[in-house]
Amino acid sequence: MSSEDIQLEICGAHNEIAVIRLTRQKKRNALNDGLILAIRNLFDNLPATVRAAVIEGEGEHFCAGLDLSELQERDAGQGMQHSRMWHAALERVQFGPVPVIAALHGAVVGGGLELASACHIRVADESTFYALPEGSRGIFVGGGGAVRIPRLIGAARMADMMFTGRVYNAQDGERIGLAQYLVPTGSAFARAFELAERIAKNAPLTNYALMHALPRIAEQPADQGLFTEAMMAAIAQSAPEAKERVRDFLEGRAAKVQKA
């Protein structure tokens, strides 16, 4: 396990925020097998107090993708297993215990974009750029990118990035849906942390529904999706915490929605 290449810090008054930092800046946070296994292990073992996580990369770049020095001669079976190892790790990010906010800057490329797209919210600063150099390296995405990236930007844009080596800058990345927030250079982590603090205050069942029910509902045929939505809504609203929060609003104790 390359534990020197990743750090976990638990923050907040109630130890409710996990900050996960890729610390392999000499190699631009390229993801070798050890780091992929460490990500999986870390999400499997987050302390129970944690309610939201932020992931960032140390140095000039968020992540340079797959560590190309490990791309040895693999036969088809080994290649399949390698990709499935990435899938297992990034599945722990997407369908793990807590919402994950990616704080992006510099290169978010290849497997780095696959990692970012497994997170629930992406905050990018103005130095961010996105690419899928797999196309020019003669390979294909293998970390879930073919499933997750088209859901963010559409298959046509993803194919263009891979066919032509197109690089999106931070502004265009936000415009097409690679990030939900665009912030000044150097401030992605602070903004991501603020969002994590806000998310950590939600009812845990609401966060659970957003992570686990919403993406599944969105993939279901409308009739099944509406049925699943009704079940999730019924479970969420019957929780004591939901009743308490609604009562707080009706009795003037909860914040109103403010104009943006």
* Residues tagged active-site: 114, 134
Distance in angstroms between the alpha carbons of the first and the last residue of the chain: 45
Smallest distance from ligand 1HE to CB 83, Å: 6
Between 16 and 67, name the residue whose CB sits nearer to ligand 1HE.
Answer: 67
**Measured distance CA(121)–CA(64) in Å, rounded:** 19
Are 63 and 105 in contact, with CB atoms under 8 Å apart? no
Between 74 and 247, name the residue whose CB sits nearer to ligand 1HE.
Answer: 74
The helix (run of H) or strand (run of E) holding residue 231 is helix 222-238
Closest CA relative to residue 151, chosen from 114, 126, 125, 181: 114
3-state secondary structure of 190: helix
Between 139 and 190, name the residue whose CB sits nearer to ligand 1HE.
Answer: 139
Between 107 and 152, name the residue whose CB sits nearer to ligand 1HE.
Answer: 107
Q: Which residues bind ligand 1HE (CB under 6 A)?
A: 27-28, 30, 60-61, 64-69, 86, 107, 109-111, 133-134, 137, 139, 141-143
Smallest distance from ligand 1HE to CB 212, Å: 24
Tally of CB atoms within 10 A around 256:
7
Smallest distance from ligand 1HE to CB 242, Å: 39
3-state secondary structure of 111: helix
Smallest distance from ligand 1HE to CB 61, Å: 5
Tally of CB atoms within 10 A around 148:
21
